[in-house]
Amino acid sequence: MKSPHSGRRGPYLLLSALLLLGGCSMNQLVVRSSMGLMEQSIRAMHRETDLELARAAMPANLKMLEGMIAADPGNARLQLYAAEGYYGYSFAFVERSDPQRAAGLYARCRDYAAGALERTGFTHDLTDTPLRELESALQQAGAAQVPALFWTASCWAKHIDLNRDDPRSIARLGRAAALMQRVLELDPDYYHGGPHLFFGVYYGSRPPMLGGDPGRAQEHFSAARAVSGGRMLLGEVLQAEFLDRQRMDREAFHERLSGVLNTAVADDPAPLAFANQVARERARWLLTQEDAWF
């Protein structure tokens, strides 16, 4: 038997569809319906252990992400995926061979992450707001803003690191650190202890007279190791590259990197498989520099 209201559903459904389309273009609908597939693709990349395959695949995936962002510019999740992707691609495959190109890619990464941060409601200008005012505003940031804060700070710091001859760029490192400090306060375990790795490098890469602090760097590297249970090999590589090298501790440098290379690929947890392969490749390269550095 027909419901007495069944004849009225058609106009209501049509009106609902028109309202939906009125606030969301067809391109946006297509993009949002594809989000699940994109997330599966990202997870597959996290599990990839063949770096040559990853090197070949990532540029196309990044350009696809940029096309999706162009179709749905208010989509903060896509902007964060692009930021993480550009960071990973630049760190793994570009930075050592072409630092100038990597700096440009890190700037793109930073801009996508900052765009996502703005979408979450953080509208303070990251560059021009006085630092103390920025730090005060960051105290209002909450857990939902952690991913955008983390990737903005990470990408910004890498861009600064590759522009050390630009005093204006170096002067902004404290701003990136302020963003990551808030992440550390809100979620120190985020991204396998990523905030601790940031500050391990931040304090370990500079001599004390320039703001470095080996003790604090060691604390952060140890905290990151505890978060991942020692499974995040990149933490070991970064400690060797920045802290052991700064301390001129050749024995620790060599043993730490050799330990990374001796860790079996089969032992990598799926979410860290790609990152750990990148860590092994970087460890292998760092060992070739040992005689020149010590």
Cα separation of 52 and 55, whole Å?
5
Label residue 25 by pLDDT band (50, 70, 90): confident
Under a CB-based contact definition with an 8 Å cutoff, are residues 81 and 38 in contact?
Answer: yes
pLDDT at 202 over 70: yes
Lowest-confidence region among 79-93, 95-109, 156-170: 156-170
Torsion of CA 125, 86, 183, 232, to 10 degrees: -170
221-244: pLDDT as tens digits = 999 999 999 999 999 999 999 999
Half-sphere exposure at residue 120, Cβ-oriented, CA atoms within 13 angstroms: 23
pLDDT for 186 equals 98
Question: What 3-state class would DSSP assign to 282?
Answer: helix
pLDDT at 271 over 80: yes
pLDDT at 180 over 60: yes
Label residue 17 by pLDDT band (50, 70, 90): very low
Q: Which residue, among 82, 181, 172, 187, has the nearest Cα to 127 in the 3D structure?
A: 172
pLDDT at 6 over 50: no
Mean pLDDT of 158-178: 92
pLDDT at 15 over 50: no
Cα separation of 79 and 290, whole Å?
38
pLDDT at 1 over 80: no
Cα separation of 57 and 258, whole Å?
29
Could you state, in order of their start, the residue ranges of all structural domains in the chain? 32-187, 200-294
Percent of the chain with pLDDT strictly greater than 90: 79
Q: Which CATH number fits domain 32-187: 1.25.40.920, 3.40.50.300, 3.40.50.150, 3.40.710.10?
A: 1.25.40.920
pLDDT at 21 over 80: no
Mean residue pLDDT of the chain comes to: 91
Cα separation of 290 and 287, whole Å?
5
Label residue 23 by pLDDT band (50, 70, 90): low
pLDDT at 24 over 70: no
pLDDT at 91 over 90: yes
Cα separation of 87 and 151, whole Å?
8
What's the pTM?
A: 0.89
Check residues 4 and 147 and name the one with the higher pLDDT: 147
pLDDT for 37 equals 80
129-166: pLDDT as tens digits = 999 999 999 999 999 999 999 999 999 999 999 998 88
